[in-house]
Amino acid sequence: MGKAIYIAGPMKLQNLLTAAYLEEVTGIPCEAVEDVSDILSAGDEKGENKRLILWDCMGKDLHACMPELSEHFEKRSDCDYLCLINLLRDEDFEEKNLPAEIRGFFYQEDSVDQLLKGIETVFRGELWLSRRIMTNFILNNHRQESPRKENAAAILTRREKEILTMVRQGATNCGIADKLCISNHTVKTHLYNIFKKIDVPSRLQAAFWAAKNL
């Protein structure tokens, strides 16, 4: 399977230069586009490429943009990875926006080496998060572990475990629905029941729980 990188944002010249640099250094085809929806609408029906989308956040009101971005990205292929670049440092934003759709966060003060290392990490299927956020999440999750969570695996149905395993692997609702030949609504219902049974509020925490308990 091949790889491709897209930089989505309005700063055309800057992003064109960044795309050319990334392609030269990584050897991965890289293209600058105006809008992330242009990439997603093009699709990759054969799943021939892992596509990393670097969404340029320069000058954007991120809290206002996130609902629209999430709606766009719900239509993605399971081979599409989304990262946010040119973020301003915000103590709350990264922690509050850790859905499976976003695989990495890059800040305006990050070095080129950090960007390159992050891209490599995301292509391996891992998350690129700040050390502080990851540490806080792990510590808080450990402290709040309860008997209900520990015993929850026993009350999950076979289908719920199957879906939770796919969530852990980064699958979208659409991807799960297609693979299991069920509707998106059915997937959402299963996820609601799963989150309730394992006592977690988010998709990311469900993925962490699955990695530990399944």
Domains of the chain as residue ranges with CATH: 2-132 (3.40.50.2300), 144-213 (1.10.10.10)
Predicted confidence at residue 89, as pLDDT, reads 77
pLDDT at 147: 43
Give residue 213's pLDDT. Answer: 81
C-alpha to C-alpha distance for 10 and 58, rounded to whole angstroms? 9
Give the integer Cα–Cα distance in Å for 161 and 79: 22
pLDDT value, residue 134: 65
Q: What is the pTM of this model?
A: 0.66
Q: Tally helices (H) and strands (E) across the chain.
A: 11, 5
The secondary structure element, H or E, covering residue 81 is: strand 80-87
**What pLDDT, on a 0 to 100 scale, did the predictor assign at position 85?**
92
Alpha carbons 132 and 128: distance in angstroms, whole number: 12
Residue 39 burial (CB count, 10 A): 21
Q: From first to last of the 214 residues of the chain, give the pLDDT tens digit.
A: 689 999 998 878 899 999 999 999 999 999 999 887 777 666 555 556 788 999 998 887 776 777 667 666 666 666 788 898 998 876 566 666 555 567 888 998 899 999 999 999 999 888 887 776 666 666 665 555 544 555 666 789 999 999 999 888 877 788 888 899 998 889 989 998 998 888 887 777 788 788 778 7
Dihedral angle at the C-alpha atoms of 75, 76, 82, 88, nearest 10 degrees? -20
Going by C-alpha positions, the residue among 22, 126, 136, 9 that lies closest to residue 62 is 9
Q: What is the pLDDT of residue 75?
A: 62
169 vs 207: CA distance, rounded Å: 8
- If 0-12 CB within 10 Å is exposed, 13-18 middle and 19+ buried, where does residue 116 land? middle
Q: Give residue 151's pLDDT.
A: 64
pLDDT of 73 reads 66
* pLDDT for res 5: 95
Q: Give me the helices (H) in 169-202, please.
A: 173-180, 184-198
